[in-house]
Amino acid sequence: MAESQPIRIGHGFDLHRLEAGHKLVVGGLHVQHDRGADAHSDGDVVYHAVTDAVLGALAQDDIGQLFPDNDPKWRGADSTVFVKEATRRMTDAGYVIGNLDVTVILQRPKLGPHKPAIRANLAALLGCDISRVNVKAKTHERVDAVGQGHAIACHAVILLMQQG
Ligand code: MG
């Protein structure tokens, strides 16, 4: 358990391979595409990176330790369960969201039209006002595997504030 401090920062990163025959789920949204994340769960890089950012801020291990990818229980899992568990731990530790900043890296399709819905999903799951959540999306300039459409990646930085 983390020592109680007024503010704590956390960082999360995730990447999944994109393959034909899988759904692409980004921030809780099903995004139409010719490929999706080849992952044990639904492969939602946004929810995985945010979960790790919250756990990081709390100094409580990482998503892989909490939800092992060799556990059949999490096969095809809706990644909302991971964010909900991280949020429960945050609340138990006496923290609320200061703010969250997310960057999704995907060559195509463009995520711009989906950003408001992803923000709303995150704010609802984390129990905070939408003004505390930002979602940015960018391509990888056609460079490397992400830029060639073989993978999707996400970075998340979060600030937690001690409640009351
Ligand atoms: Mg992941």
pLDDT digits (tens, 9 = 90+) for 50-73: 999 999 999 999 999 999 888 888
User: How remote is the CA of residue 164 from the centroid of ligand 1, in Å?
Assistant: 33
User: How remote is the CA of residue 16 from the centroid of ligand 1, in Å?
Assistant: 6
What percentage of the chain reaches a pLDDT higher than 90? 90
C-alpha triplet 36, 15, 123: angle, nearest 5°: 85
Instruction: Write down the pTM of the prediction.
Output: 0.96
Q: Where are the domains of the chain?
A: 7-162
User: How remote is the CA of residue 157 from the centroid of ligand 1, in Å?
Assistant: 16
- Looking at residue 2, what is its pLDDT? 59
Query: What CATH number does the domain located at 7-162 have?
Result: 3.30.1330.50
User: How remote is the CA of residue 98 from the centroid of ligand 1, in Å?
Assistant: 24
User: How remote is the CA of residue 59 from the centroid of ligand 1, in Å?
Assistant: 19
Residue range 99-123: mean pLDDT, rounded: 98
- Looking at residue 142, what is its pLDDT? 96
Average pLDDT over the chain, rounded to whole? 95
Q: What is the DSSP string of 24-59?
A: EEETTEEE--S-EE-SSS---HHHHHHHHHHHHHHT
- Looking at residue 101, what is its pLDDT? 98
**Pairing mode, strands 7-19 and 151-162:** antiparallel
Residue range 79-83: mean pLDDT, rounded: 97
Q: Which of 35, 28, 33, 22 is closest to 150 using CA atoms?
A: 35
- Looking at residue 4, what is its pLDDT? 82
Residue range 23-49: mean pLDDT, rounded: 96
Confidence of residue 1 (pLDDT cuts 50, 70, 90): low
